[in-house]
């Protein structure tokens, strides 16, 4: 060990002794027009082995500054611009500043073989709205996955949960060869695909199907990453398997197998665990630790895992996926999953209810046990009939069976601690849910300048059948004590059918201006049959029909929405203004109570958006839109709901629709030379006629709730982000992030008939960094502090003010060779949690692994919650309450695991088993 440390020290000392800093300057122009070529890629490589030393991007004037730190005497320099012949120069590092002057590039008349080889080495290319990175240009450890490569890319951040952002924008889709990889969750691809098979990583704005086909820009709110597979790796199979068992009978087993053949892919997945893990991660360090925050990450939309309730879940999943495509002909993907889970959760809640004349307190303890199994399948089918006509279908089918038992005990006390009422409940549920949805999208281009027509049809049909046994005992104390018991059996048969059809048309007005016309029609019907039967003491059976609690109604919501818009799609400046006229008709036919009503609403909804691109790296966006929210049938129906004896509810048929005005602004800029990113965002929303609860509380602290519309609700937010990457050749990389944000909101509600206004302000500065040294150690510290303040318009109510702290520290070491050591430490402190709960906790996961069989296998020992402090205590606040709660979470366990990777591409074993298809560089 001492010899290894001495050697490492010698190598580092030698590097710093001989490497020097240099600066290469120049300007890239068009050979013919002499116009500057913005976003040209300039990079330097060593002559001996073509190792990339540094790269940069030219600015708006075509100028560039390339910073070098190297001990080499000469380097190869490449200047590349899409559509132009590249230029190669050999530069001598004999002075600090090397001025190259103007470098003229000629239009590329034909694709030469040599040029193609050079092109595959370009570290970064900017193509209109797409950033393209060459995975091989970014050094990682040999067994790295896609997530490890993303952490190296400038402007890209990956947090400890695997969530990805690009210069502040969330990545919501990761594709492989342009297709969804198993599911819509990006982590399935980023955590399981090895770097060795990756060719390019392309980042662009997320687009809708119409935007993809017509070539329109995305709205810029989210990003999509497309991973392309190397040609010599795009035929073969890739597999991952792991098995772990630990104390308290904790276990995890999972497997993933992918077969690639050009555009065709067949995948299988299977997993089972009782540690709240999604089951698809094959990270060598942190893949068997569930969720460190006490929550539960699920993939219910795609069937990969099926959680039911909260707490601790045991889940099992098997699934298969198929994808294939042929350029200009079709693209299809389909998957099927079976998932089973059972979970349990004990929860303790302490709630202060704020009233104008005095607070009262509600304390409850509950227990949930539930299980579910589901079969789900979905497909994405896209056909290009010809270059002007595309038809796509997206069917999805799901059948889920649920079974649960939920018990709770609730006590209410006044401000003096005197007991006012109590309620004990037990609910047994057995349900079956079935749903089918589909969307049809037909787009026809009518010319080559942007004219098109689009027709859409979608449906969503669901049915919920449930049998439930509800038992409750409510006791009211005080001067007039009462005791009420309820024992009921309920049969539920609910059905929802929604159909929507739409047509849109775009008419060009010259090269940059377009008119958009549209019409959408939606018809949604909800049928609710809820038969409540009381237990009959005489017959000892549930045969006494409860007319008050039973329901039988049909609620329909029909909406027509003609729309008009005008847009400008310029090279730098794009904008759109539009208007929708929403005609909404609702009708409720009640066959059991006097709850029949009908209403009509008409609303003009305006929208506008604009984006201006200052350069390839800098852009400003602003968006405004209005939306309406139709009240739910429960808020409208004038029928008394006494299912909760402590809070009786009744709807209000005179409610108006809520209208929300939203405004958002965003600016982002990335300086490629400095590796510095800046983004600003701000926005807010104002709500007109917001539907709020009107609750009155009697002397026994029993509540009655109805609903009304109020104005004056709004919220605003402001945030800033700064990122900086510091790279010293191949020695170390540092990424810094500073992200403060603040919010301010006003909430108007009612408490005991009196208007209650709360104003909430919060500010949270966050700072984090990632330090990587020689791919041997990676350190990720982070810290944020959150200040929260809530003020009320009623003098009697005290302001709520508290500070929370969160500190994280994550380390991963890959030294000595074949040894992987990981630590994940999280400290949380909430200064305002009540004394009944722990205010802070230090959460520490640790793993130690050894890689063997040429790093194809890893044996690991993991300690979860090493200090045994995980408590899952949280505080939430609302307009008229402050609530603390604590629920069941995973506690300390130790687990030993074995994982194995097996790959074969192009007929040869993959990395670690004899390299299949070595990539030859010029």
Write the DSSP assignment of 798-865 as a string of letters.
Answer: PPEEEEEEEEEEEEEE--STTEEEEEEEEEEEETTS-TTS-SEEEEEEEEEEEEETTTTEEEEEEEES
Q: Residue 594: its pLDDT value, please?
A: 82
Residue 30 has pLDDT above 90, yes or no: yes
| Least trusted range by pLDDT, from 288-297, 464-473, 635-644 | 288-297
> What's the whole-number mean pLDDT along residues 483-495?
93
Q: Indicate the pLDDT class of residue 535, thresholds 50, 70 and 90.
A: very high
Residue 754 CA, chain-centre distance (Å), reads: 39
Mean pLDDT of 419-442: 94
pLDDT at residue 33, rounded to an integer = 93
Q: How far apart are CA 887 and CA 343, in angstroms?
A: 13
Q: Which pLDDT value is given to residue 284?
A: 52
Q: What is the model's pTM?
A: 0.83
pLDDT over 70 (residue 421): yes
* The length of the chain, given as a count of residues: 922
pLDDT at 908: 55
Question: What is the pLDDT at residue 878?
Answer: 66
Region 507-512: what's the mean pLDDT? Answer: 89
Lowest-confidence pick of 382-396, 431-445, 829-843? 829-843
Tell me the C-alpha distance between 276 and 894, whole Å. Answer: 15
The β-bridge relationship of strands 713-728 and 703-710 is unpaired
**3-class DSSP assignment, residue 713:** strand
Position 205 scores a pLDDT of: 85
Name the residue among 148, 152, 241, 160 with its Cα closest to residue 196.
Answer: 148
**Band of the pLDDT at 109, cuts 50, 70, 90?**
low
| pLDDT exceeds cutoff 60 at 523 | yes
Alpha-carbon distance of 354 to 756, in angstroms, equals 9
Residue entry with tokens 């709020």: 692
> What percent of the chain is modeled with pLDDT above 70?
88
pLDDT above 90: residue 689: yes
Of 18 and 683, the one with more pLDDT: 683
pLDDT in tens, 779-793: 999 999 999 998 888
pLDDT at 306: 40
Rg (CA), the chain: 31
- Considering the chain, what is the average pLDDT of its residues? 85
pLDDT of 753 over the 80 cut: no
In degrees rounded to 5, what are phi and psi of residue 799? Answer: -65, 145
Query: What pLDDT, on the 0 to 100 scale, is given for residue 5?
Result: 45
* Predicted local confidence at residue 289, as pLDDT: 46
Quick check: 62 pLDDT over 70?
A: yes
Per-residue model confidence (pLDDT) at position 627: 94
What are the tens digits of pLDDT across the range 704-735? 888 999 999 999 999 999 999 887 767 788 99
Read off the pLDDT of each residue in 887-898 and give the average, rounded to a whole number: 90
Instruction: Provide mean pLDDT across the span 606-633.
Output: 91
Would the pLDDT of 297 be above 50?
no
Q: What is the pLDDT of residue 398?
A: 96
In this structure, what are the phi and psi dihedrals at residue 17, rounded to the nearest 5 degrees? -75, -35
When pLDDT is cut at 50, 70 and 90, the band that residue 579 belongs to is: very high
Residue-wise pLDDT for 33-43, tens only, equals 999 998 899 99
What single DSSP character describes residue 194? B
**Least confident residue range of 7-16, 385-394, 446-455, 869-878:** 7-16
> What was the pLDDT predicted at 498?
97
| Strands 800-813 and 156-158, sheet pairing | unpaired
Higher-confidence residue: 918 or 890? 890
Q: Which of 274-283, 433-442, 603-612, 823-832 has the lowest mean pLDDT?
A: 274-283
Check residues 244 and 755 and name the one with the higher pLDDT. 244
- Name the pLDDT band for 643 (thresholds 50, 70, 90): low
The CB density around residue 316, as the number of other CB atoms within 10 Å, is 19
Q: Quick check: helix, strand or coil at residue 118?
A: helix
How far is it, in rounded angstroms, from Cα 268 to Cα 257? 5
* Per-residue CA distances from 551 to 229, 426, 466, 639, 665 (Å): 56, 21, 14, 9, 46
The residues pairing with 811 across neighbouring beta strands, listed in sequence order, are 779, 823
Q: What is the DSSP letter of 661?
A: E
For the ranges 276-290, 855-869, 901-915, the one whose mean pLDDT is highest = 855-869
577 band by pLDDT with thresholds 50, 70 and 90: very high
> What's the pLDDT at 172?
85
pLDDT of residue 575: 94
Residue 254 near residue 270 (C-beta atoms within 8 A): yes
- Identify which of 272, 274, 269 has the alpha carbon closest to the alpha carbon of residue 311: 274
> What integer pLDDT is reported at residue 280 of this predicted model?
53
Q: Identify the residue with better confidence: 834 or 331.
A: 331
The region of weakest confidence among 346-350, 651-655, 811-815, 915-919 is 915-919
Question: Cα angle vertex 881, ends 878, 885, to 5°?
Answer: 90
Instruction: Please give the residue that has the higher pLDDT: either 539 or 122.
Output: 539
Which of these ranges, 6-20, 146-160, 650-664, 746-760, has the smallest mean pLDDT? Answer: 6-20
Determine phi and psi for 569, rounding to 5 degrees.
-115, 80
In degrees, to the nearest 5, what angle opens at C-alpha 802 toward C-alphas 798 and 806? 165
* 240, 258, 317, 708 from 237: Cα distances, Å: 10, 5, 21, 60
- What is the spatial distance between Cα 69 and Cα 16, in angstroms, rounded to a whole number? 10
Per-residue pLDDT band for 836 (boundaries 50, 70, 90) equals: low
Q: Does the pLDDT of residue 534 top 50, yes or no?
A: yes
Q: Is a pLDDT exceeding 70 seen at residue 187?
A: yes
- Of the listed ranges 297-311, 428-442, 862-876, the least confidently predicted one is 297-311
At 693, the pLDDT band (50, 70, 90 cuts) reads confident
Residue 96 reports pLDDT greater than 80: yes
Residue range 459-488, pLDDT digits in tens = 999 999 999 999 999 888 877 788 889 899
Apex 338 CA angle, 461 and 466, nearest 5: 50
Q: What is the pLDDT confidence band of residue 221, given thresholds at 50, 70 and 90? A: confident
713 phi/psi in degrees, rounded to 5 = -85, 135
Pairing mode, if any, of strands 482-509 and 452-476? antiparallel
- The burial of 920, by beta-carbon neighbours within 10 Å (0-12 exposed, 13-18 middle, 19 or more buried), is given as exposed
Give per-residue pLDDT as tens, 542-562.
999 998 888 899 999 999 999
């Amino acid at each position: 060990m001492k010899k290894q440390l001495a050697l490492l020290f010698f190598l580092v000392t030698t590097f710093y002794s001989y490497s020097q800093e240099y600066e290469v300057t120049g300007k890239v122009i068009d050979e013919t027009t002499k116009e500057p070529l913005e976003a040209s890629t300039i990079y330097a490589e060593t002559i001996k082995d073509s190792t990339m030393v540094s790269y940069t991007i030219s600015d708006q004037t075509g100028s560039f500054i390339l910073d070098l730190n190297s001990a080499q005497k000469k380097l190869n320099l490449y200047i590349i611009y899409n559509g132009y012949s590249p230029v190669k120069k050999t530069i001598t590092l004999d002075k600090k500043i090397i001025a190259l002057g103007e470098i003229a590039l000629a239009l590329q008349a034909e694709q030469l073989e040599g040029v193609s080889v050079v092109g595959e080495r370009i570290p970064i290319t900017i193509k209109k709205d797409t950033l393209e990175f060459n995975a091989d240009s970014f050094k990682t450890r040999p067994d790295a996955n896609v997530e490890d490569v993303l952490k190296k890319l400038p402007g890209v951040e990956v947090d400890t949960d695997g969530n990805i952002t690009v210069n502040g924008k969330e990545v919501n889709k990761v594709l492989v060869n342009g297709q969804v990889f198993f599911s819509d969750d990006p982590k399935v691809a980023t955590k399981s695909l090895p770097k060795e098979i990756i060719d390019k990583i392309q980042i662009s704005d997320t687009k809708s199907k119409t935007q993809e086909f017509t070539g329109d820009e995305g709205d810029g709110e989210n990003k999509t990453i497309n991973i392309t597979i190397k040609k010599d790796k795009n035929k073969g199979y890739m597999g991952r398997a792991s098995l772990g068992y630990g104390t308290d009978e904790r276990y995890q087993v999972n497997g993933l197998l992918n077969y690639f053949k050009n555009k065709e892919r067949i995948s299988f997945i299977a997993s089972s665990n009782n540690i709240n893990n999604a089951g698809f991660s094959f990270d060598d360090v942190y893949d068997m630790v569930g969720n460190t925050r006490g929550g539960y990450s699920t993939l219910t939309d795609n069937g990969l895992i099926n959680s039911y309730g909260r707490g601790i879940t045991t889940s099992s999943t098997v699934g298969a996926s198929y994808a294939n495509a042929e350029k200009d002909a079709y693209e299809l993907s389909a998957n099927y999953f079976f998932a089973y889970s059972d979970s349990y959760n004990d929860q303790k809640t302490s709630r202060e209810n704020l009233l104008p004349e005095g607070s009262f307190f509600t304390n409850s303890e509950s227990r949930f046990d539930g299980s579910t199994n589901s079969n789900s399948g979905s497909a994405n089918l896209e056909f290009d009939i010809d270059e002007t006509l595309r038809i796509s279908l997206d069917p999805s089918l799901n059948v889920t069976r649920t079974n649960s038992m939920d018990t709770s005990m609730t006590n209410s006390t006044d401000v003096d601690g005197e007991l006012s009422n109590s309620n004990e409940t037990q609910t047994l549920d057995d349900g079956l849910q079935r749903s089918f949805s589909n969307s049809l999208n037909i787009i026809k281009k009518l010319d080559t300048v942007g004219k098109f027509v689009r027709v859409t049809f979608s449906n969503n049909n669901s049915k919920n059948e449930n049998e439930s046994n509800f038992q409750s005992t409510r006791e009211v104390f005080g001067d007039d004590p009462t005791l009420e018991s309820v024992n009921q059996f309920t049969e539920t048969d609910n059905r929802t059918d929604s159909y929507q059809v739409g047509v849109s048309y775009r008419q060009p007005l010259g090269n940059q201006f377009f008119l958009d016309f549209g019409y959408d029609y939606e018809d949604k019907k909800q049928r609710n049959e809820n038969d409540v039967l009381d237990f009959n003491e005489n017959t000892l059976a549930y045969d006494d029909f409860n007319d008050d609690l039973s329901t039988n109604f049909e609620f329909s919501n029909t909406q027509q929405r003609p729309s008009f818009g005008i847009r400008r799609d310029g090279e730098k400046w794009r904008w759109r203004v539009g208007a929708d006229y929403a005609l909404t008709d609702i009708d409720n036919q009640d066959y059991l109570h006097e709850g029949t009503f009908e209403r009509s609403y008409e609303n003009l909804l305006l929208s506008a958006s604009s984006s201006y691109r200052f350069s390839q790296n800098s852009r400003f966006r602003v968006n405004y839109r209005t939306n309406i929210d139709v009240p739910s049938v429960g808020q409208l129906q004038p029928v008394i709901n006494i299912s909760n004896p402590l809070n009786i509810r009744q709807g209000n048929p005179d409610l108006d629709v809520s209208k929300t005005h939203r405004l958002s602004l965003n600016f982002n800029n990335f300086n490629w030379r400095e590796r510095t990113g800046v983004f600003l965002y701000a926005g807010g929303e104002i709500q007109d006629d917001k539907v709020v609860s009107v609750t009155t509380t009697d002397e026994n602290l029993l509540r009655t709730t109805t609903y009304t519309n109020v104005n004056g609700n709004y919220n605003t937010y402001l945030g800033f982000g700064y990122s900086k990457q510091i790279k010293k050749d191949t020695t170390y990389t540092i990424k810094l992030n500073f992200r403060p944000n603040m919010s301010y909101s006003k909430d108007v509600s009612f408490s005991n008939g009196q208007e209650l206004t709360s104003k909430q302000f919060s500010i949270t500065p966050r700072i984090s960094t990632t330090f990587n040294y020689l791919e041997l150690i990676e350190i990720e510290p982070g810290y944020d502090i959150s200040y929260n303040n809530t003020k009320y318009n009623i003098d009697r109510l005290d302001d709520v003010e508290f500070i929370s702290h969160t500190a994280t520290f994550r380390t991963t070491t890959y030294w000595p060779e074949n040894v992987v050591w990981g630590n994940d430490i999280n400290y949380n402190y909430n200064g305002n949690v009540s004394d009944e709960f722990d205010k802070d906790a230090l959460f520490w996961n640790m793993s130690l692994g050894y890689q063997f069989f040429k790093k194809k296998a890893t044996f690991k020992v993991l300690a979860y919650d090493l200090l045994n402090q995980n408590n899952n205590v949280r505080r939430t606040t609302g307009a008229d309450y402050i609530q603390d709660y604590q629920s069941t979470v995973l506690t300390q366990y130790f687990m030993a695991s074995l994982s194995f990777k097996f790959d074969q591409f192009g007929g040869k074993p993959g990395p670690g088993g004899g390299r299949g298809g070595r990539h030859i560089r010029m």
